[in-house]
Structure formats: structure tokens, C-alpha cells
Amino acid sequence: MTQRFQEALTYAAQLHADQLRKGTTIPYVAHLLSVAAIAMEHGATEDEAIAALLHDAIEDQGGDVARKEIRRRFGDAVVAIVDGCTDAEEQPKPPWRQRKEKYIAHLKDASASVLLVSAADKLHNARAVLGDYRVVGENIWSRFKGGKDGTLWYYRAILNALLEQPLANRRLVEELGRVVTEMESLADKS
């Protein structure tokens, strides 16, 4: 990684400085670091690692203003990946289910870079849900607009969409599958 990655890390930390993970006191930057780490562990290029750090910037931190700044600082390739990981940038956001169905559908035409960052993002999110479920139980589902059924549907649908794509490294999607299956199993027992 070069100075560009360090600059992206600083920029991501600044953009998300006041943001916390849903229902927790965990700084949002922890998620961004985790997604970047997962992507790098699965062969991410520097552009993909930078996009992993910035994957929620357009969606959560400024829409087109953020897009233009990312393009200026890190280039078109990074913007293309971040755009591919964005499910909505307009405010107010469209209805939850509509956004998620559209995002899942777009994965069939997504680049390998978008698939890598998206899979890393979903893996970290699923791990966090599973870990928090073990602590707070069924109360976890109140954090999510989709509730229990919608959240479980979404992770299974994302997994199925990713399984249909030719990813360079299947280990990432296989790990997501294990976490989603465990999340479903625990939820079924409650």
C-alpha cells in the first residue's frame, strides 16, 4: 500500500468521525477498517482496499459531493467500486426492501472489484450481527429496518447472488455462507 491508502484511511476516518455502528457505541471507522482488512486478506489491490475504506461514503456521507471528492483524490477506478457498493444516495432513501432488491439484482453485472468489496462488507456485517445476537439475543433485530425476517432474507439473498458470480477467491463467499447459515440457525432456535 502506498501513501494513497494512508490518505484514504484519514479521509474515511474524517468522513465517518461522528458515526457509530447501529445500536452500539462502536465507532463506524472500525467497520471500514475491518472491510478493508477482509478485502486485503482476499487479494485486494490498492484501489480495492481504498474503495473498501470508502464503500459507505457516498451512501452515508454526502452523495455526489463525496463522489466528486473521492474521484478527485483517488480516481475513477475507486469511484466505480464505491458506486457499485452504494445501494442509495438520495435522501430520503427509498423503501428498505426496494433498495435491497435493487442492490442484489445489480450484483449479477458487477465488476470483480465491486463483488470483492461487497462480499467483504457483507461478511463483516454478518459477523457483527452474529456476535451481537449472542449478546443481546432477539433484540438485535430491532436495529434493522428489515427486522428479523428481512435481515435474514437479505443476507441469504446476497450470499446466493455472490455464489452465482465468478469471484477470484471463493473462500470469502464460503466464509460468508458459514456465518449466514450460523445466523439463520441461531435465529431458528429462538
Q: Residues 93-145: pLDDT tens digits?
A: 899 999 999 999 999 999 999 999 999 999 999 999 999 999 999 999 999 99
DSSP state of 95: P
User: 180 with 151: CB under 8 angstroms?
Assistant: no
pLDDT score of 167: 67
Nearest to 57 by CA among 8, 123, 23: 8
pLDDT score of 88: 87
Question: Nearest 5°: phi and psi at 169?
Answer: -125, 100
pLDDT score of 159: 96
pTM of the model: 0.95
pLDDT score of 36: 98
Q: Which residues of the chain are modeled with pLDDT < 50?
A: none
pLDDT score of 89: 83
What's the grid cell of residue 129? 450481527
Nearest to 152 by CA among 135, 133, 170: 133
Block residue for cell numbers 471507522: 29
* Distant-in-sequence, close-in-space partners of 117: CB < 8 Å, separation ≥ 6: 35, 39, 44, 48, 51, 52, 55, 81, 84, 85
Domain extent listing, the chain: 3-189
pLDDT score of 125: 97
3-state secondary structure at position 20: strand
* CATH entry, 3-189, from 1.20.1250.20, 1.10.3210.10, 3.30.450.20, 1.10.10.60: 1.10.3210.10
pLDDT score of 61: 87
pLDDT score of 169: 73
